[in-house]
Chain A
Amino acid sequence: MDRDVFPPLVDLGAAGFEPADAGRIAAAAAASDAPAARAALQLLDLTDHVHSFAAWCDAQAEPSHG
């Protein structure tokens, strides 16, 4: 098991999905879940969540973009 990927994906089988569907969905999600989890482990700082992305976007506006 990749120890960087934690917590694991939600067990949709336990949530009532058909086993085949749960397996298919988990396989699709795993492909994005692992890189996202690793990115968080490597980059995320304790205060990142308090910064609003929208406010950051506005701060990038420059009057002379044209």
Chain B
Amino acid sequence: MADLEKLDLVGVADAIARRDVSARDVTRWSLQRLEGTGRRLNAVFRIDHEQAMARAAELDELQARKGVCGPLHGVPLAHKDLFQVAGRECHCGSILLRGRTAERTSIALAQLDAAGQVNTGSLHMAEFALSPTGFNGHYGPALNPWHPDHVCGGSSSGSGVAVAARLVFGSLGSDTAGSIRMPAAMCGVTGLKTTFRRISAEGCVPLSASLDSMGPIAQTARDCARLLTHASGPNAADGLCTGVPNQDYEAVLDGRLQGVRIGVPEAYFRSELDPEVGAALDASLEVLKRLGAAIVPAVVPDMERVNSLARVLMTVEAATLHRRWIREQPEAYSTQVRARIEEGFAYPAVRYAEALSLRRRIADEFLRTAFAGCDLLHVPVLTMQVPTIRDTTEGEPATVLRTIARITYAARGVNYLGLPAMSVPAGLSAAGLPLAFQLIGKPFAEAALLRVADAYQRETDWHRRMPPAALPA
């Protein structure tokens, strides 16, 4: 059998289609890794052994009779524990919803089912998706496979860890203020936050309906393109999902960047930048330039303002969702998470309406200004290096809160603007932790982001590096 840990999502799908391996072989391998390395890294909430093996057997039988049923035929995936699966527990990283069984499968996962995925279980996440570090006061942190003393990023913590540690070949996460891009960046894998409503959020436990965006985490841009192609698109069952047709995102990956203009904003995004992060960003720009892209300066509007408006929306909507539970069962929340939700009770109604009403005007201004001379933006995901768990949980509270706020500095505003953004692995620090850059595009320009990231990954191998936890003992 092939060395499965060396294959990416597209590679394993091809191997199954060629009958080099069966869906059962790959699923058994994935389940063993989830049970071993996955449990050790605390990346997993639930492993569905029986259902996954039954599904793999069904797919093998189908392949024998009719051929593969879709582009994800037999590929083991697992997803953040806010994507509901009918008949299975979905507690969103909380104790409040523990034991709650979902009645319906989320639209995004149903679409991946139709494309042939084997869903192996549910992955660790921050409590109610409210931490950029992956903090979970009830279930403990998922551990960064590059170094267990460091945070793995959140709130889609298990998704980042499971892909990096080669437990599954891809995962869907959600991103309200960086929750896909953070774990992707901190775990050294590729993550795509899609345009607001590009992927249906129906059947997902919300945090902030105005900001939540779903998206894939996988080893490569091509893997993300395949997942996006099959998880997205208009769906009659979800009136809130976009009506803009999706496309075959893999079809645009041609490795060519001639004519692409990549904007680099100095102000805001590069202030207080860690020197190693800055060096990795510069090195990635050199690669993109060599591939034919034009690197041009860009100017962005006031991002502090954008971040403030995003925070008003997120906390008020979270407080609205949690108001009854937090009143009746405050002890069911960890202190850090409750504090973030309660902030939403403090804003006057007028402020929330203002933050919503301003959104179109500010997004318009951002598009006119930031994209005036370029197609997409190149900025950091994190302006600092991956912090330790201790840095983000212990010590003087004000210092800890500043560190946590600093983590989402370059990510949070993107959700208010509704734009697609990607985290792409771009190096390893002297301490052996991943470094990454972020690409931000215009609405529905996922194909442009994927095309640039894929071209970069054809020239580099940062996305192929395996963390120590993924290697055989």
Contacts and interface: CB of A to CB of B under 8 A. Distances in A.
Nearest to A7: B348
B308 interface: yes
Given A37-B354, A43-B361, A28 B308 contact: no
A7 to B, nearest CB: 5
B371 to A, nearest CB: 11
A46 B362 CA distance: 15
Contacts of B242: 54, 57-58
A32 B443 CA distance: 25
Given A15-B345, A29-B347, A53-B418, A39 B244 contact: no
A48 B339 CA distance: 31
B347 A9 contact: yes
Nearest to A38: B305
A10 B305 contact: no
Interface in A1-26: 7-10, 12, 15, 17, 21, 24-26
Interface residues of B, number: 52
Contact of A56 (B347, B351, B363): B363
B345 A53 contact: no
Nearest to A45: B361
Indicate the member of B195, B315, B339, B342 with the most A CB atoms within 10 Å.
Answer: B342
Contacts of A51: 360
Nearest to A50: B357
Interface residues of A, number: 39
A49 to B, nearest CB: 4
B218 to A, nearest CB: 19
Interface stretch (B155-163, B444-452, B460-468): B444-452
Interface in B278-322: 304-305, 307-309, 311-312, 315
A39 to B, nearest CB: 5
B356 interface: yes
Interface string B353-368: 1111111111110010
A36 B359 CA distance: 11
Interface string B242-264: 11100101011000000000000
A55 B364 CA distance: 13
Nearest to A39: B305
Closest 10 CB pairs of A and B: A66-B252, A66-B447, A40-B354, A60-B443, A35-B308, A29-B346, A32-B308, A32-B311, A49-B357, A65-B445
Interface of A: 7-10, 12, 15, 17, 21, 24-26, 28-29, 31-40, 43-45, 48-49, 51, 53-54, 56-58, 60-62, 65-66
